[in-house]
């Protein structure tokens, strides 16, 4: 009788709470590290990076500048030319510091990683970046942007195709190359041209207008879909006829799946996932005995596998406290379908453990 009552639980564990497992050191760590995918200096441009330490001890780390195919870039920071593209910095607890990036020559562009020396939970970094634009004298325009969170899938809606500039960075800490897929759609969801394949070597940076990436396309309003197995970072800028800019930061988009499990008690199940750095978040909906409920889950992609964790009350009227975990079979990618894996769940009050398999199919 217990097995019949609890048979639906394996599907619910896919999205029903939050927790996370051991963190790999080969990651971008939010509030410890920052990534700004586009830095401009020289000519009309200068970039200011403003950071603050929200911890209780000194934050020690490094500004690391790169450009092109991952070559160290050495602009001028606070009137001092860099050597090897790096600058060691220290920020006291509660202190706020601005680093002004300039060049005495023509405009150059790259990106910067602000990387912590430690993973201690005693110092945390917050910050933003501002582009300042001048025309032979006073500043005529400024654009502020937040740090970029690495993603594996993103969506960029836009109003004017010809006005959008896109900067992407492969700052993968594991040293992997990325094969980025770019798909362009009209405002009516009609594909525009073929899928663009954009290879990015490790630490490589690219910045182009959409009309350069998709030559020959005539389009106004629409959206760009970006997908990469290796987490990448990005930012977009829109430029009006007068030259003024505004930022369009790129974040993660969602992927939705229908789910079946080895349990016959689940009449309907669906999950939606998105990434925030190495974290994976989302929702899970299940229809049990005619009632549909929504749950939240949190996890990670570890060595290419998707791991999700939950704890909390189940949706059965009996209200058992559940603890559970799932992982995919092998490598998980955002466009993959189907996704298969195994689940494990424990009912604490009943000392009950269950396990099985699931299949998740991507919904276009």
For the domain spanning 2-22+255-362, the CATH number is: 2.40.128
**What is the pLDDT, as a whole number, of residue 356?**
78
φ and ψ at residue 227, rounded to 5 degrees: -140, 135
Does domain 34-145 correspond to CATH entry 3.40.50? Answer: no
- Contacts (Cβ under 8 Å, ≥6 apart) of 141: 132, 133, 243, 244, 245
**What one-character-per-residue DSSP string does 143-202 give?**
EEEPPPPPEEEEEEEES-GGGEEEEEE---TT---EEEEEEEEETTS-B-SSPEEEEE-T
Residue 248 and residue 202: Cα distance in Å, rounded? 24
Please answer whether residues 193 and 216 qualify as being in contact, where contact means their C-beta atoms are separated by less than 8 angstroms.
yes
Are 74 and 82 in contact, with CB atoms under 8 Å apart?
yes
Identify how many contiguous H helices and E strands the chain contains and give both numbers: 3, 26
Other C-beta atoms closer than 10 Å to the C-beta of 75 total 25
For 243, residues 6+ apart whose C-beta sits below 8 A from its C-beta are 133, 141
Provide the pLDDT for residue 322. Answer: 61
Average pLDDT (238-253) is 80
pLDDT tens readout for residues 26-63: 578 889 999 999 999 999 999 999 999 999 999 999 99
Interatomic CA distance for residues 89 and 82, integer angstroms: 13
> What torsion do the CA atoms of 79, 85, 88, 92 make, to the nearest 10 degrees?
60
Q: Where are the domains of the chain?
A: 2-22+255-362, 34-145, 151-249
Q: What is the pLDDT, as a whole number, of residue 345?
A: 72
- As a whole number of angstroms, the distance between CA 353 and CA 20 comes to 20
Average pLDDT, the chain: 83
Using one digit for the tens of pLDDT, what is the confidence trace for 172-195? 888 899 999 999 999 999 999 999
pLDDT tens for 263-308 read 655 445 788 899 887 788 888 776 555 556 666 788 888 878 889 8
CB atoms within 10 A of CB 279: 18
Q: What is the pLDDT of residue 4?
A: 31
Helix spans in 29-138 (H): none
Q: Provide the pLDDT for residue 244.
A: 75
Q: Where are the beta strands (DSSP E) in 4-107?
A: 34-41, 45-53, 59-67, 71-72, 76-77, 80-81, 86-91, 96-102
- Tell me the β-bridge partners of 288: 291
pTM of the predicted structure, to 2 decimals: 0.82
The domain made up of 151-249 has a fold known as: Hypothetical Protein Tm1070; Chain: A (2.60.290)
Q: Are 29 and 290 in contact (CB under 8 A)?
A: no
Q: How far are the Cα atoms of 36, 182, 225, 228, 304 from residue 152, in angstroms, in the given order?
A: 17, 12, 11, 5, 12
Q: In a 3-state reduction of DSSP, which class is residue 361?
A: strand
Separation of alpha carbons 275 and 149, rounded Å: 9
Rounded distance between C-alpha atoms, residue 304 and residue 306, angstroms: 7
Decide: residue 36, CB within 10 A, 0-12 exposed, 13-18 middle, 19+ buried. Answer: buried
pLDDT tens-digit map of 88-127: 999 999 999 999 999 999 999 999 999 999 988 899 999 9
* Residue 253 predicted with pLDDT over 80: yes
Q: Which pair of tokens denotes residue 19?
A: 């927790």
How many Cβ atoms sit within 10 Å of the Cβ of residue 53?
Answer: 22
């Amino acid at each position: 009788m217990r097995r019949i009552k609890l048979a639906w639980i394996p599907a619910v564990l896919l999205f029903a709470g939050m927790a996370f497992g051991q963190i790999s050191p080969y990651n971008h760590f939010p509030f410890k590290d920052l990534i700004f995918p586009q830095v401009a200096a020289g000519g009309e441009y200068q970039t200011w990076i403003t950071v603050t330490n929200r911890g209780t001890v000194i934050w020690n780390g490094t500004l690391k500048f790169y450009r092109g195919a991952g070559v160290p870039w050495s602009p001028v920071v606070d009137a001092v030319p860099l050597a090897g593209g790096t600058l060691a910095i220290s920020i006291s607890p509660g202190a706020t510091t601005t680093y002004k990036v300039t060049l005495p020559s023509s405009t150059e562009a790259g990106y910067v990683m602000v990387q912590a020396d430690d993973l201690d939970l005693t110092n945390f970094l917050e910050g933003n970046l501002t582009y300042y634009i001048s025309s032979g004298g006073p500043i005529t325009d400024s654009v502020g942007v937040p740090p970029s969170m690495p993603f594996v899938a993103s969506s960029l809606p836009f109003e004017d195709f010809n006005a959008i500039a896109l900067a992407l960075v492969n700052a993968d800490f594991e040293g992997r190359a990325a094969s980025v897929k770019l798909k362009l759609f009209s405002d009516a969801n009609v594909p525009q041209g073929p899928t663009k394949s954009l290879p990015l070597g490790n630490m490589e940076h690219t910045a182009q207008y959409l009309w350069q990436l998709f030559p020959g396309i005539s389009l106004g309003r629409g959206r760009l879909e970006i997908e990469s197995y290796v987490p990448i970072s990005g930012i977009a800028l829109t430029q009006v006829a007068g030259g003024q800019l505004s930022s369009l930061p790129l974040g993660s988009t969602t992927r939705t799946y229908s789910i079946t499990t080895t349990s016959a008690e689940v009449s309907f199940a669906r999950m939606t996932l998105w990434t925030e750095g190495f974290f994976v978040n989302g929702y899970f909906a299940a229809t049990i005995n005619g009632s549909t409920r929504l749950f939240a889950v949190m996890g990670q992609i570890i060595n290419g596998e998707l791991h999700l964790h939950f704890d909390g009350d189940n949706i059965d009227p009996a209200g058992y406290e559940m603890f559970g975990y799932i992982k995919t079979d092998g490598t998980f990618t955002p466009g993959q379908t189907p996704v298969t894996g195994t689940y494990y769940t424990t009912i604490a009050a009943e000392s009950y453990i269950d396990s099985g398999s699931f299949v998740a199919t991507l919904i276009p």
